[in-house]
Amino acid sequence: MLKIDNTIVSFDLFDEYFVCNLQRCKGQCCVEGDAGAPLTAEEIEVLKTIVPEVLEYLPEKSRQIVETQGFSYIDSDGEAVTMLAEGEQCAFVYWDRDGCARCAIEKAYKEGKTDFYKPISCHLYPVRLQKYNDFIAVNYHSWHVCKCARTLGKEKQIAVYQFLKEPLIRCFGEKWFEELELAAREYKKSKIN
């Protein structure tokens, strides 16, 4: 484990390889699971204002769920998460022409309708954050639906932290990421010696 500011980072971010392979997995991380995507209190406030901009991208069933039940709920762990549609998929999923699950929040952002990209928990995946009193644990999460991403990452030799540069900077800042990159180089040198 590595300490940077108020974070404790798992060395798995250096040791494991990952590159999303949407052609193969079809966005299953947005469909499978037992709860929606974790949301921060700040994200809930933002979503309250932008959901009307996002609704137009949703399938009819999902739109009805969000309009009648809301966009979030408290899961069995007591955390706020995105609402589910049809039992499993995130209520913000829409399907592209290739049958790939995509994020309606992200689509609204890319089309200039909002300035909110998507929940940080989604943007950071396969990294999961766990907040404690004195620090935030930054851990790699291995899930069977991402097997093709691990394979592609290994083929391309792209470590998890490299693949997640943009969301890690979004979450923790440029300086934090620079320290992470430096630590990764030193860690790899120590493994060679």
pLDDT in tens, 110-128: 999 999 999 999 999 999 9
Could you tell me the residue ranges of all domains in the chain?
Answer: 1-18+126-193, 26-123
Please state, in angstroms and rounded to a whole number, the distance separating the CA atoms of residues 132 and 29. Answer: 25
pTM of the model: 0.90
CA distances from 130 to 52, 134, 192, 193 (A): 30, 11, 31, 32
- Among candidate residues 123, 161, 156, 117, the one with its CA nearest the CA of residue 140: 161
At residue 87 the predicted structure's pLDDT band, cuts being 50, 70 and 90, is: confident
CA distances from 88 to 54, 162, 169 (A): 20, 30, 30
